[in-house]
Amino acid sequence: MQLTVDNKVILTPLPKILETLQSQLSTGKLKDIDSSNSENIRVTCPNNDHKGGQERHPSCNIFNLDNNDKVTKGTAHCFACGYKANFVQFICDCFNNDDIQFAKDWLLENSDVAFQSEVQYLPEIEIETKKPEKEYLDESVLTQYKHYHPYMWKRKLSKEIVDLFEVGYDANSKCLTFPVRDEYGRLLFITKRSVENKSFFIPKYVEKPVYLLYYVLQHKLTRVVVCESQINTLYCWTLGIPAIGLFGTGDSFQYNILKTSGIRIFDLMFDGDSAGRKGAYRFEQYMKDYCFINKWILPEGKDVNDLSYEELTKLPVI
Ligand SMILES: [Zn+2]
């Protein structure tokens, strides 16, 4: 759909409008504009909740087609943080100004416009002022799980790492507890792993972040091991190897977070089974243009936690 403001069609091409916008901002936003894909322009995300609006590499898409009947031209969508806004709201966010009228006026002033004829009349675009809000847990929920359990040592975790990453024990469910944080360290949810059987509990319908990525980013590490499970990830740290976990074999939401993370080398240590091999292949396909990838080949039926430091370092790598 065409981009319209107060029944006026915006005629100036979006890349040109974005350039004008960029030149007028004093917020430091919109550092990068990549118009190489004419359907989706990529810009650095203006969402203040995403690296303070100062993302280093562009991951916010701006839809740039007039003739799609579902999406309005100018709609912004950031794959890294989930930010979504129509173009007027996007302008507001670039200026750090919540006044929709200001953004509308700015757009009309900085673009050629045509009046929609009566026949072509389209309802005015709906202004989405609400940003997606994620809910976070209060840190105090972790207090009740501050206990050690022998199963932690059985899985070869050190006390130091258990303390550092706040692994706990819930006596009610007889489970180890693992706080899961987003890349900024905010507490999203808690997963649980039974100490009696192989049950694993993760809240339904959550987008899985990348386990322990916040810690890697805080310490500006540029090379990490990638594991499937949280225990494998924690075991790597116990061995002194920085690692992140995917809660499985990975998905595009996680790849998109990792693409803009600044990590340059990923050492994949997925489980030695067909799901692990498929996961490693998929990771490589998505990520190979953004980073270096080493695939460590684990023995059939083994995962990282089954192997010693010496065994891990002697694995074949492709
Ligand atoms: Zn974003």
CA of 42 to the centre of ligand 1 (A): 11
CA of 292 to the centre of ligand 1 (A): 24
Flag whether 125 is in a domain.
no
Local structure of 180: helix, strand or coil: strand
Does the predicted model carry a pTM greater than 0.75? no
CA of 157 to the centre of ligand 1 (A): 35
CA of 304 to the centre of ligand 1 (A): 33
Residue with tokens 């258990």: 162
CA of 162 to the centre of ligand 1 (A): 31
Q: Are residues 73 and 155 in the same domain?
A: no
CA of 50 to the centre of ligand 1 (A): 5
pLDDT at residue 7 in the model: 81
274-287 vs 252-259: helix axis angle to the nearest 10?
Answer: 40
Q: Count of CB atoms within 10 A of residue 251's CB?
A: 15
CA of 118 to the centre of ligand 1 (A): 38
The CATH number covering residue 30 comes to 3.90.580
CA of 41 to the centre of ligand 1 (A): 14
Q: What is the pLDDT of residues 140-192, one digit of tens each?
A: 999 999 999 999 999 999 999 999 999 999 999 999 999 999 999 999 999 99
Flag whether 129 is in a domain.
no
Model confidence at 120, in pLDDT bands (50, 70, 90)? very low
Instruction: Judge contact between 20 and 110, C-beta under 8 A.
Output: yes
Distance CA 266, CA 286 (A): 13
CA of 312 to the centre of ligand 1 (A): 36
Instruction: Judge contact between 15 and 33, C-beta under 8 A.
Output: yes
| Amino acid occupying residue 142 | L
CA of 238 to the centre of ligand 1 (A): 33
pLDDT over threshold 80, residue 132: no
The CATH number covering residue 207 comes to 3.40.1360.10
Question: In which domain, by residue range, is 201 found?
Answer: 139-313
Distance CA 261, CA 213 (A): 9
